[in-house]
Structures are given as structure tokens and as C-alpha cells.
Amino acid sequence: MCLGAQARAANENARRRYKYENERRERNWMQTISIYSAQKVKYQEDVENASLAQRYAYTEEQLEQQKARDAVQIKYQELYREMVENSDYGKLMSAGRTGQSIRRMNTMELAKFGRDTTELGRQVLVNDRELAKQRAATEAQLKGFKDQAFAKVAFQPIETPAPPQPVMQSVGAAAFMDALSIGSQVAGIVTAFPSSDRRLKENIKKIGESISGLGIYTFNYIGKTTKYIGTMADEVLKIKPEAVIVRDGFMAVNYGLIDVNFEVA
């Protein structure tokens, strides 16, 4: 294949490759955008669900606190009723008894009631702290969940840069190189088959003879000063005709087929 055809084929392959890379880049980008859009929708759903879960946890905490306070209130009323119904101080006072010991009894009963109600208050505070701890753990878990969801959409994908434009080969330059190559080949042919026709030579002088019987001569081409050593084509035609070719109406010799060398004298 000549260089011009090779350059055209290479350019066509480069264009096809560039088109394919662009199409593949576009497909990958559309897929990336679709995935990112789906992740954003999922992130919004996750945030809303986490917010609902947080509000639910707070509501549950409030309900548990109120339930504990209602239970304490009932227990407080029971303690007060028991103290009134079972009070030795009250019974003695109803019987008309008084005195220091009676008053001391009243003080002891009130102190016991105070301790019992204080314990109920302590239980309420302990329950509040436990509920607050549970709520904090739930909120931390929900925050971690939201952070993980956000990490998936925090950075918007960036489209990959377009592939570089292909560097096309110059078909004209390749054709010119073809011409140079052909010229070199022609020049090589001329060198390999130098003109040996007598009509192109002057100052012909025989200086010897080869083993095959070909005359060896010195000469110069008409109008040229450089002297050469070689043979005459008409003699080669008689002894080794396959070594003779005709070029532009004159005979030339393929010196590779005869036993005479062509060289500068």
C-alpha cells in the first residue's frame, strides 16, 4: 500500500476511534448523571425518614415521661391515703390524746411520707435521664445515617474531558513521499543499469578483456568529463543478451550479470 493510501486509512481509523471514544464518554456520563440523580432522590427520602424517626423518638420520650409521672402521681395519692388511714397519730388525736410523744409520732409519720415522696421524685428523675440517654443515642444513630447518605451526594460528578482531537496525517505529504520513493527507485534502476550504448560515449579506449570475452574500456559520456571503466552494450548483447535492457531507445547493461565492473576511472 502506498504512503498516501496508508495516510488516508490511518486518518479514517483515527476519526472512527475519536467518534467511538466520544460516544462511549457520552454514554458513561449519562449513566453517571442518572445514578447521581437517583442518589439525590434517595438522600431526600433518607433525610425525611430520619427526621420522622427523630420526631417519633421525641414523642415516645414525652409519652414515657408522662406515663412515669402519672404513675408517680397515683403512687403519691396512695401513699397519702395510706398515711391518713393508717396514721397512729390521727387515731390518738381522735381519741383526745395529746402530748410530746404524740407530736413526735406525727413528725415521724410525716418524715416517712416525705422520704417516700422523695424516692418517687428520684425515680422520675432517673427515668427522665434514661429516656434522655436513649433519645441521644437514637439521634446520634440518625445523624450518622444522614451523614452517610449525604456523603453519597456531597460531590457532584464531573464530566470527564473530551478525548483529544486526532492528529491527522497529511495525505499530500505522504503522496509526496511516495513520489520521492518512486524517484529513488528509478534512480536505483538507473544506477544498477548504467547506459552502455556506444552512441552515448566518447573517448572510448579498450584497456583489457574479461574472462567471458567482453572488452573492458575507459570512456566518458558525451558532454561529460568524468571517465568511467566499463563495457559496451553491443558486445554484451552478443555474449550475455539477458544482461541488456533498452531504456529511452538506448541500451543499458546489468553489470550484476556480467564479469565486468562499472566504476569511475
Residue 1 has pLDDT above 70, yes or no: no
Grid coordinates in use for 140?
Answer: 446520634
Predicted TM-score (pTM) of the model is 0.45
Which one, of 168, 167, 152, 159, lies nearest residue 24 by Cα? Answer: 159
The model's pLDDT over 179-211, given as tens digits with 9 standing for 90+, comes to 444 444 434 444 457 778 999 999 999 999 999
Domain coordinates of the chain in residue numbers? 3-151, 194-264
Spatial contact of 206 and 216, defined as CB atoms under 8 Å apart: yes
Per cent of the chain over pLDDT 70 is 89
Residue 59 has pLDDT above 60, yes or no: yes
Rounded to the nearest integer, the mean pLDDT of the chain is 84
The model's pLDDT over 96-124, given as tens digits with 9 standing for 90+, comes to 887 888 888 888 888 988 898 899 899 98
The model's pLDDT over 207-252, given as tens digits with 9 standing for 90+, comes to 999 999 999 999 999 989 999 999 999 999 999 999 999 887 889 9
pLDDT of residue 208: 94
The model's pLDDT over 8-40, given as tens digits with 9 standing for 90+, comes to 788 888 889 889 998 998 999 999 989 989 988
